[in-house]
A and B are shown apart, each in its own frame.
Chain A
Amino acid sequence: MLKIAHIDVYYGDLQALWDVSLMVEEGEIVTLVGSNGAGKSTLMNTIAGLLKVRAGSIEFHGIRLDSLPAHSIVEHGISMVPEGRRIFPQMSVLENLEMGASIHAARKMRQKTLKEIYEVFPILGERAKQRAGTLSGGEQQMLAIGRALMSQPKGLLIDEMSLGLSPLVVQELSRVIQSINKANNLTIFVVEQDVPLALSMAHRGYVIENGRIIDQGDAKSLLCSARIKEAYLGTA
C-alpha cells in the first residue's frame, strides 16, 4: 500500500505541490489526472525519489521512502516507467531489460522474469539483440514497461504512457497493464493526460489542479462527473 500524506514539493523556491495526500491500496490501479503543469509528473518523480519533499511523508508497505535516493526506492519494491520512456538507446533490448533487474533480489530471478515479460510482449523477445534506439515508439514503451517490471516490483508507477503513441498501441498497452495488475496483484499508479483512457483503466482516480488534489473517487463516477467532463472531455 502506497500512502502519501500531506506532502509539499518545491523546485528551488517555487512550490509545485501543496499538501498532497493520496492512497493506493494493494492490487489497485489508481490514476492521477490533470492538465499540463498541474503537478502530475512532479508527484511521480517525488515518489520515485528524484525530487525531495519539503514536508509530509511517503510510505510504501509501512516503510518511509521520502528521504531515500532513487536507486534504493527500487529496492523497496517501487519501480517507475518514466515519462518519455527513457530507454538506453545504445544498448540492446535484452541489455535494457537486464538493467531493470539491477537490484540483487531481482538479479537472481531474472531469467524467469525475462520469460514472463517475453510472454507479455513477444516483440521484445524477437528483437532482443536489436539496439533499443531503433525500436518504434510503441515498442520502446513496451520495453520501458518491461524494464520496470524486471525489478519484480510490488508497486508500479507509470508516467504518461500514451504520449506520442497511436490509439491502437495505447489500447494494447492498457490491456496488458490491466492483466498484469490482475495476474500479479500489482499495485499500479498511473499519471495520464488522456483522461478517458486513464479512467477506463483504473479502479479509482484523483484529480490534480495547480498542485492540489481537488477531487477523487471511483473511476466510473469520476468519468461521469460534470467537472471532469467540462475540464477534460469537452462534452459539458
Chain B
Amino acid sequence: MEIVCQTMANGLLVGALYGLVALGFALLMGVMKFLNTAHGTFIILGGYLSYWILELWGIDPFLSLPLVVMAMFLIGIVFYKLALSPLLKLPNIGMRINTSMLITFGSIWVLDNTMTLLWTPDVRSIMTSYTGQTLKLLGIRFSLTGLGGVGVAVLVALALYFILSGTYFGKHIRAATQDAVAASLCGINVQRTYLFSCGIAIALAGVAGMVVVSTYSISSTAGIGWLSSAFVVMVLAGEGNINAIIPAGMLLGLIESAGLLVVGVSYRQAIALIVFIIVLMIKPQGLFAKKEYGS
C-alpha cells in the first residue's frame, strides 16, 4: 500500500510538471494556432539559462526565475519576428498550423546544434542544498524540488488564466485568432498582440525549463521528449482549453505512475503515447473539453 501511495504522489508531482511543460505549447497551438514543435527545445534552452545563472553567479534557480522569464520572453519575440509572423499572411488557419509545424521543426535542429556548440552535449543538472531532500506528509515523501515545481506550475497557470480571461490583452489574443480582420476593425493591433503572446509562450517554456533542470536533468537534444509530453497533455485537455492543462498534466502523471506499478519503468514513454492514441480514438476533442453548442 505504501508503495502505491508513494508512486501516486510522485505521479502527481511529475504530472504538475507535465502540465507546466504543456502550458506555453497549448497557448501557441490552442489560442494562436501555431504548432510549435520546438517548444521542448525552448524548455531545454530555459533550463540552460537557469543552469548557467547558478554556475556563473550562484543564484538559486527558483530565485533567478524572473531573469529567465524575461530573457525567454525576448527570445520568444525574436522567434516570432523571424519564424512565425510571416505565417499570418497565409489564407487560412489550417495552412498556418501546417506551415508553422514545418518551420518550427526546422528550428529544432538549429537550436539543438547551437546549444550543443555552446554548451557541449553533456547532461547537466542542478545541485543545490535542498536537492534530494524530502518532506514527509502522511507517511508519503515529497521531494522539495518537486513541490516547488508544483507551486510554480499552479501559480503560472493561474496567472495565465487571469491574463486570458480577465484582461483586454487576453481577449485580444482570442479575438485575433477567431477573426483577424474583424479584430483589426475593432482597433486591435493583431501583429503586436501575437508578438507579445508568443513572448509569453516561450517565457512559459523557460519556466518549465527551470523546473526540469532542478528536478531532472537536461541535455542539448532532450527537447523532443518534452515536446511529446506537451502534445499528450494538450490532447488530454482538449485543444484551446488552457484552463484544463494543469489538471490534464496531473492526470497523465497519475496514469503513468499507475502504469509503472503494473508494467515497470522501462515502459514510461509507451504509457503516455498509448494514452495519447486512446484519447484521440475515443474523444479527440479532449477529455476536459466542454460540450460544443451552436455554430
Which residues on the B side are within 8 Å of A89 (C-beta)?
178, 294-295
The answer to whether the Cβ of A198 comes within 8 Å of any Cβ in the partner chain is: no
The answer to whether the Cβ of B172 comes within 8 Å of any Cβ in the partner chain is: yes
Contact partner, A107, options B168, B181, B183, B190, Cβ 8 Å: B168
Measured as residues with beta carbon below 8 angstroms from the partner, the interface class of chain B is 20 to 34
- B294 in contact with A99 (CB, 8 Å): no
- B190 in contact with A88 (CB, 8 Å): no
Contact (A74, B187) CB under 8 Å given A86-B181, A98-B168:
yes
- B179 in contact with A88 (CB, 8 Å): yes
0/1 string, B217-239, CB within 8 A of A gives 1? 00000000000000000000000
**Which of A72, A87, A90, A95 has its CB near the most chain B CB atoms (within 10 A)?**
A90
Which residues on the B side are within 8 Å of A147 (C-beta)?
186
The answer to whether the Cβ of A50 comes within 8 Å of any Cβ in the partner chain is: yes
Interface hits, A41-87 → B, CB 8 Å: 48-50, 69-72, 74-75, 79-80, 82, 86-87
Interface hits, A140-156 → B, CB 8 Å: 147-148, 151
The answer to whether the Cβ of B120 comes within 8 Å of any Cβ in the partner chain is: no
Which residues on the B side are within 8 Å of A70 (C-beta)?
181, 184-185
The complex places the Cα of A133 from the Cα of B293 at a distance, in Å, of 9
Give the total of A residues in contact with B, Cβ under 8 Å: 32
Measured CB to CB, the nearest residue on chain B to A105 is: B187
Measured CB to CB, the nearest residue on chain A to B192 is: A71
The answer to whether the Cβ of A39 comes within 8 Å of any Cβ in the partner chain is: no
Q: Name the distance in Å between A96's Cβ and chain B's nearest Cβ.
A: 8
Contact partner, B175, options A74, A79, A91, A133, Cβ 8 Å: A91
Binding site for B on A (CB under 8 A): 48-50, 69-72, 74-75, 79-80, 82, 86-91, 95, 98-100, 102-103, 106-107, 131, 133-134, 147-148, 151
The answer to whether the Cβ of B134 comes within 8 Å of any Cβ in the partner chain is: no
Contact partner, A79, options B183, B185, B190, Cβ 8 Å: B185
Interface hits, B146-169 → A, CB 8 Å: 168
Q: Name the distance in Å between B185's Cβ and chain A's nearest Cβ.
A: 5
Which residues on the A side are within 8 Å of B182 (C-beta)?
82, 86-88
The complex places the Cα of A72 from the Cα of B186 at a distance, in Å, of 10
The complex places the Cα of A48 from the Cα of B294 at a distance, in Å, of 30
